[in-house]
């Protein structure tokens, strides 16, 4: 099987290359990078010295569609949508790591992203590639919208409780913390070492673009509109996202017929029902808080929760590697599903510690 | 004026030494450290080489009370309470950096800290040393309970809105992030470089000891009991605390007589009313999120807020240096107030960047 | 094939587990750890949750020898030597990650390590497991002394030039920089996050234990005694060793018959002669300086050099991951050689960036 | 006294502002920054919020010369030289933090910096502002060339031994390690957080521009030409430079008339002779290695040495904060000397730990 990557020199693109190097069924045919055309890929990412011999190619999606079985687009917002057409989709499967096909409502997309959507006709058929939730649809898809990093972590952390109606989604607050690779490889002052190191800050408060994506997906789970607060923070580390989510627990009927807060076991059962058979979602032991370091370099998401009886709230926590399960790993997982390959192929990486 | 420090070789004690070196009115008479008795202080903290010539002393509070004007106790919980007596308080002023005299209710203290309080008779007279709020009481105090680091940041971030009734305290959630010096200088595995670096985690979820302290103080501001969620996180950096706090805004009467969310200007006015004249609390410009790096090494607390009209919530943010305004700096500020010294003496440190 | 690990809960032991999880021919039978006997291994290293199900075992080498084909000892100096006997060596192959069998001279070992050697009778047969240099001997060994992390990097960086007589070994100076995982997982004050972060220092100056190991091995290459300076430094990062080595170039005969400094091509040819076919040693392109990040998580060593015509010196540089090629990876490489498995099995990890 | 800063928004410029805020005799009149003209300085460096109220000005040196007593130029190489003229020097004193007036030989400057020198006529009178060595000349200077960060650390570390002829300068090798603020605040890919964090590399090997500056100054001390190796490394930390320098000790006459290596006490005496009365150079206790963290935020340089009798070499070590003693602090120290102010005014900062 042959794959092409458009945007192979960003951090997510680079991670795709790393993962596909260890994938038995796939060969990378095309390292697309408009910024580095003709340069050796291993000169851009020297970890690939003597591993990748190819040079970077321009982003010619039409030509690429002739040559490969699957295209990954790890490109700025709007780029993939601007190139999509029937010809391409008739020839190859596309996994888009940008936000272009994640949001079903064009006005919502255009409002939060501030750009016009250039191919809204493909939004409907695009499958939101959160494998653990939309697995069957992904298998049949020819266009997958690979979820955002914050989004994957936020949704998977809260999903079972939203789905089972155990929390009041009107009270849902997601406080997220991300390593700096999520900001990309652009040479921008706020991402300089000296600006990020020994520092933590919130950003995109009340207006981060991953908000509507989380709301839409959790809305499907809830069966009603969800409006929530999402606050990302920049943390001085390379990789990792930690989500700390808060919500009021709904009262449930207890054994004696009275109403009350659900017990630990009831919440645990909800998580297990959804994730018990999932290889890549690990529901931790009671009381253990997820740490990003325990999943680094791997496709795992670690989730857990603690009930606060004093306030009637539950604190849900989730951790993943933003470049793996939050981007490239999930893209490979989607590819595996789309092509009938073993779902974990190329993804059986043990987290690296320390 | 002479000062004695009990616990001078912890990180907070070391910071006290650094600050007092730059204080015009105070000389340190006693570097107390049970772990390093007789050793040169500058061998424990080599930044003090050729600056501090003294050796560490044992923790003899009785003797110390004879020799100095003010005692700082930067010691484990319970230690200060176990030594306190009328004789000491009749001779010196005491500023306790531990939690022993912060909480007015003995049962609450004993429940959250898991130890018996050895001198409850002094709790009533102890003044909670959050200078910006209890300035006049601090001036008259002989025993000051210096607030916790998370607590100072949390309270100052939310105080004006709680005091003015602008938020619904039942919905208040505080998500806090701290540098690792807050964990102290004990040689414990979870604080090793390789365990903390490239990692973020929540800890003490729903049971961190600073919770009742925040609740008590905000309760005084609210005029009613406050019960909230407080979740601390460990961040891979040496210094700094960032608080991100969430609450529903209360409806206020608008100009046209209708009820609605308060506008930016109304919230800003509340912050300015309380902090406009405060040197050490900086209310940032509209839209600017506090970053811990901008206050590093200084006694400043930076606060700001963003209104989310979609959810009706306000996101309040605050940042300080946990060893300065969160510990030693505030202790010096309290000392200045107690002795009639200029409040900012020894604290006019410009934050260090980068 | 079955493997046992003694010292499975140190950082090198943990890395062995990570690597062996991805090895097709080996199963770990025994997770030895005296500190955590009976505890679940995945409670000690939570990255292994749902990956390793076993509990930690005591360090019973005799019992272990009955059960497995290979034993890895990742233990403090002196421990492996104290347990070694003919019975064990007749049953299993042993790969010792400590220094016990690295140095052929007992007095040298005892002087630098300050302990008595308990089984000097096995030193002679032990093979120094630097695969690229002693490959054929390793294949036949039943006891391999796995090289130190600084040592592997230092030797491989300088080896071709020493072997080919291109540098004057009397002028050889090795300035090395290491991430903090090299200091182990012991809870010691100097390894606390706040002590290491934002800091760099030299340590073990003129007396670090890896010095005689480097001198012995380079001495074999030179065919004469080598005495050199080796200075390690502690760097605020988890993984990675960088070696910067300096030496005077020997004069060589030039094409026109005169004597002069060797040209870039001559030096390059020496590196290529030794490493051209080596998978795990990458001689970088002209002018490219090795960076530890480019080999992180992998078994690669990147080496390169720059000639300074002004001083007549060559600056040789090498980078590796101290836990992989500097410890566990090399141990697996040795195991593969000893058991006739493909040398790179379990080690085809692409370096992780960023 | 009034000061103007040209280049006030670089890291060194920002540090100058921080230091001058605490200086009793000086007021900053002009915050020059071509990149941020008209913007509030505190919007560029938010640590200065409510501390600095001024806006950035264009770099008009002529106008500035009319308004202030001293001008600091913290600008790219060549800029200061291009503006210098008799008029300016007749009105104000100038302290240039760039390299323009550090090197006495124009060809050497032009070769290493690759630019033409625009005002060579002022090189002769410019005083090299390494206060501890050229104090008397600095006092009389109107144009001071403020030394480089690597340079200050390298020279002060080796100076006493070179001056006293205790080492063979032909064998001198300087291996230096720097925090990332030394690379400046430009938005360049290699300085991004994710590229620097968890990484160490050498750069500028055999061609770094600080080399001739070190050679020239040590040459004056030696009384002969010095040619050496200087290798800088980039370390994942904000601030700090560590120098590890190696040289062969010269034989000295011993008490019994024989020749031999100098003893510890003889070397120590040389350091003490030069630095015993220097406030800002601390010669550490025997065996203690300098660490950058112990001088962070301060104007101190910590130096020490270890004799290796096996190799006959001495390892000299030095640590400083590259933005303070390595740039802005030394500039203030020079200013104090030039204007007859107490030399340590504004510089009595206690190093911050952790």
- Count other C-beta atoms under 10 Å from residue A21's C-beta: 17
**pLDDT value, residue D255:** 87
Question: Is the confidence at residue B59, as pLDDT, over 90?
Answer: no
**Percentage, residues of chain D above pLDDT 70:** 100
Q: Which residues of chain A have pLDDT under 70?
A: none
> φ and ψ at B41, to 5 degrees?
-60, -40
Q: Could you tell me which of C175, C168, C261 has the C-alpha nearest to residue C218?
A: C168
Mean pLDDT of chain D: 97
- Residue D220 DSSP symbol: H
The alpha carbon of residue D210 is apart from the nearest alpha carbon of chain A, in Å, by 22
- Tell me if D350 and B291 make a contact (CB, 8 A cut-off): no
Question: Is the confidence at residue C123, as pLDDT, over 90?
Answer: yes
| Low-confidence winner among A58-67, C6-15, C21-30, C299-308 (lowest mean pLDDT) | A58-67
Residues C135-154 have pLDDT tens digits of 999 999 999 999 999 999 99
Catalytic residue, from C80, C131, C149, C153: name it. C149
Counting one residue from chain A and one from chain C, the pairs whose CB atoms sit within 8 A come to: 74
Q: Counting runs of H as helices and runs of E as strands, what totals does chain C give?
A: 12, 15
The residues of D annotated as belonging to the active site are 149
Contact with chain C for residue D206, Cβ under 8 A: yes
How far apart CA D46 and CA D27 sit, in angstroms, is: 19
**Percentage, residues of chain A above pLDDT 70:** 100
- Tell me if D237 and C236 make a contact (CB, 8 A cut-off): yes
- Count other C-beta atoms under 10 Å from residue A265's C-beta: 10
The alpha carbon of residue A42 is apart from the nearest alpha carbon of chain C, in Å, by 11
**Percentage, residues of chain B above pLDDT 90:** 99
Q: What is the side-by-side order of every strand in the sheet holding D229-234?
A: D201-202, D229-234, D167-178, D241-249, D313-320, D301-308, D281-283
Question: Is the confidence at residue C339, as pLDDT, over 90?
Answer: yes
Contact with chain B for residue D47, Cβ under 8 A: yes
**How large is the average pLDDT for residues D105-118?**
97
**How large is the average pLDDT for residues D158-182?**
98
Question: Is the confidence at residue C255, as pLDDT, over 90?
Answer: no
> φ and ψ at A321, to 5 degrees?
-90, 115
Question: Is the confidence at residue D59, as pLDDT, over 90?
Answer: no
The pairing of beta strand D313-320 with beta strand D241-249: antiparallel
Residues D17-29 have pLDDT tens digits of 999 999 999 999 9
Mean pLDDT of chain B: 97
The alpha carbon of residue A167 is apart from the nearest alpha carbon of chain B, in Å, by 15
**How large is the average pLDDT for residues B207-211?**
97
Mean pLDDT of chain C: 97
Per CB-CB distance under 8 Å, the chain C contacts of B194 are 11, 180-181, 185, 191, 238
Dihedral sign for Cα A256, A259, A260, A265, please.
Answer: positive
B/e letters for B320-337, b = 16+ CB within 10 Å, e = fewer, are: bbbbbbbbbbbbbbbbbb
Tell me which residues of chain C, numbers 56 to 85, contact chain D at a CB-CB cutoff of 8 Å: none
Contact with chain C for residue A318, Cβ under 8 A: no
Question: Is the confidence at residue D14, as pLDDT, over 90?
Answer: yes
**What distances in angstroms separate CA B227 from CA A202, B111, B219, one per listed residue?**
25, 16, 8
**pLDDT value, residue D42:** 98
Residue D247 near residue D316, CB atoms below 8 Å = yes
Residues D299-341 have pLDDT tens digits of 999 999 999 999 999 999 999 999 999 999 999 999 999 999 9
**pLDDT value, residue A59:** 84
**pLDDT value, residue C48:** 98
Residues D99-109 have pLDDT tens digits of 999 999 999 99
Q: Could you tell me which of D321, D305, D242 has the C-alpha nearest to residue D272?
A: D305
The structure tokens 């272009």 sit at: A100
Question: Is the confidence at residue C72, as pLDDT, over 90?
Answer: yes
For residue C174, give both structure tokens: 């090795």
**How large is the average pLDDT for residues B301-316?**
98
**pLDDT value, residue D37:** 97
> Is residue C149 among the annotated active site residues?
yes
DSSP string, C273-286: HHHTT-SSEEEPPT
**How large is the average pLDDT for residues B28-43?**
97
Question: Is the confidence at residue C59, as pLDDT, over 90?
Answer: no
The alpha carbon of residue A295 is apart from the nearest alpha carbon of chain C, in Å, by 6
**pLDDT value, residue C291:** 98
How far apart CA D29 and CA B323 sit, in angstroms, is: 33
Q: Could you tell me which of A330, A297, A326 has the C-alpha nearest to residue A135?
A: A330
Residues C224-251 have pLDDT tens digits of 999 999 999 999 999 999 999 999 999 9
Per CB-CB distance under 8 Å, the chain D contacts of B353 are 14, 18, 45, 47
For residue C237, give both structure tokens: 């990062």
CA nearest A184 in D: which residue?
Answer: D194
**How large is the average pLDDT for residues C3-27?**
98
Which parts of B114-167 fold into alpha helices (H)? 131-140, 149-163
pTM of the model: 0.98
**pLDDT value, residue D92:** 97
Q: Going by C-beta distance under 8 Å and a sequence separation of 6 or more, which residues neighbour residue D25?
A: D1, D339, D341, D345
**pLDDT value, residue B298:** 98
Question: Is the confidence at residue C324, as pLDDT, over 90?
Answer: yes
How far apart CA A223 and CA A200 sit, in angstroms, is: 36
How far apart CA C193 and CA C202 sit, in angstroms, is: 17
Q: What is the side-by-side order of every strand in the sheet holding B313-320?
A: B201-202, B229-234, B167-178, B241-249, B313-320, B301-308, B281-283
DSSP string, A271-321: HHHHHTT-SSEEEPPTTPPPBGGGGTTSS-EEEEEEEETTTTEEEEEEEE-
Q: Could you tell me which of D175, D177, D171, D176 has the C-alpha nearest to residue D227?
A: D171
């Amino acid at each position: 099987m042959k794959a092409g990557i458009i945007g192979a020199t960003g951090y997510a693109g680079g991670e795709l290359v790393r993962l596909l190097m260890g994938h038995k069924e796939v060969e990378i045919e095309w390292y697309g990078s408009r910024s580095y055309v003709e340069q050796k890929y291993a000169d851009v990412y020297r970890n690939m010295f003597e591993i990748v011999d190819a040079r970077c190619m321009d982003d010619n999606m039409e030509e690429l569609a002739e040559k490969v079985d699957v295209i990954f687009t790890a490109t700025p917002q709007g780029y993939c949508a601007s190139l999509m057409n029937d010809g391409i989709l008739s020839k190859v499967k596309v996994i888009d790591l940008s936000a272009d096909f994640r949001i079903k409502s064009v006005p919502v997309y255009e409002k939060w992203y501030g750009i016009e959507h250039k191919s809204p006709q493909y939004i409907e058929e695009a499958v939101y590639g959160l494998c653990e939730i939309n697995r069957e649809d992904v298998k049949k898809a020819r266009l997958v919208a690979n979820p955002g990093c914050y989004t994957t972590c936020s949704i998977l952390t809260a999903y079972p409780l939203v789905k089972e109606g155990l929390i009041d989604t009107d009270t849902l607050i997601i406080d997220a913390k991300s390593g700096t690779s999520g900001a990309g490889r652009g040479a921008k002052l706020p991402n300089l070492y000296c600006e990020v190191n020994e520092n933590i800050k919130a950003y995109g408060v009340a207006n981060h673009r991953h908000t509507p994506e989380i709301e839409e997906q959790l809305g499907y789970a809830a069966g009603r509109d969800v409006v929530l607060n999402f606050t990302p923070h920049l943390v001085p580390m390379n990789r990792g996202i930690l989500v700390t989510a808060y919500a009021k627990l709904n009262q449930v009927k207890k054994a004696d017929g009275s109403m009350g807060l659900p017990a630990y076991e009831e919440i645990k059962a909800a998580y297990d029902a959804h994730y018990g058979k999932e290889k890549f979602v690990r529901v931790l032991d009671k009381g253990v808080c997820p740490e990003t370091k325990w999943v680094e370099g791997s496709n795992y998401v670690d989730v857990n929760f603690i009930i606060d009886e004093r306030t009637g709230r539950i604190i849900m926590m989730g951790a993943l590697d933003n470049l793996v399960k939050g981007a490239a790993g999930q893209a490979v997982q989607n590819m595996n599903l789309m092509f009938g390959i073993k779902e974990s192929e190329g993804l059986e990486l043990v987290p690296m510690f320390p």
